Structure 1
Amino acid sequence: MATNAFAAGAYAAVQNIGQTSTAAGAGRTAQTGELPDFSAMVGSALGSVRESGQAAEAQGAAVAAGKADVVDVVTAVAESEAAIETLVAVRDRVIQAYEEIMRMPV
């Protein structure tokens, strides 16, 4: 169930990235009127994946100490796995887009 919430949050965040304000100009964010920073977006995504991995590790340590339920560990690991799979899929699409751009005639 938490994995579904994580995926829904990730999809909502990705959808918000592309939203622009027509008054601010094409390709500009609605909040600041500036172009979105791709490196900040990627850094944020990596931070999110790192946090989910750390949460899974913490749950694993808690169950080893007898302070957590195994279901919580499985849920945390599943969320971490979903985050990593999403990150890998995005990376693959970026590489595919780059390769397609490089094949374009100049």
Structure 2
Amino acid sequence: MIPATYATNAYKLAQNLANRGDKGQTGGDDLTRPDFAGMLKQAVGSVVDQGRAAEAKQVAYASGKADVVDVVTAVAETQVALETMVTLRDKVISAYEDIMRMSI
């Protein structure tokens, strides 16, 4: 499932960060360093691609070339992926608000 894949990837990235030790930001040109913007772009792109695939199945069903079970499954998977993205967005916004409330 897609949400499980996101969770697994996030866990692996967190483990990589934890295992870096005290390198800090002086690590130089570390190509394996996790890129939040890239990860976010990939996740959003995946949801968009899944939505397009669901739409393609709906069109195929309308023209009689697909089974209704495939269409319902594709739409349900897209809905779960979108709900996961919205939940993650809400968590990021909540974390940002918590950080902004901290006193310096």
Same fold (TM > 0.5): yes
Letter matched to residue 12 of structure 2: N
Q: Which runs of 4+ in 1 moved over 3 A?
A: 21-28
Counterpart for residue 43 of structure 1: 41
Q: How far did residue 60 of structure 1 move?
A: 0.2
CA RMSD of aligned residues (A): 2.3
Counterpart for residue 51 of structure 2: 53
1:14-29 aligned at under 5 Å gives the runs: 14-20=10-16, 21-22=19-20, 25=23
Counterpart for residue 64 of structure 1: 62
Aligned counterpart in structure 2 of residue 10 of structure 1, from 6, 15, 25: 6
Q: How far did residue 23 of structure 1 move?
A: 6.7
Counterpart for residue 84 of structure 1: 82
Distance verdict in 2 for CA 1:49–1:26, change over 3 Å: same
Unaligned runs of 5+ in 2: none
Distance 1:55 1:16 in 2: 28
Q: How far did residue 38 of structure 1 move?
A: 1.1
Sequence identity (%):
46
Q: How far did residue 50 of structure 1 move?
A: 0.3
More relative contact order, 1 or 2 (CA 8 Å, 6+ apart):
2
Distance 2:96 2:3 in 1: 26
Q: How far did residue 99 of structure 1 move?
A: 0.3
**Mean CA deviation greater in 55-64 or 10-19:** 10-19
Letter matched to residue 46 of structure 1: V
Distance 1:60 1:85 in 2: 20
Unaligned runs of 5+ in 1: none
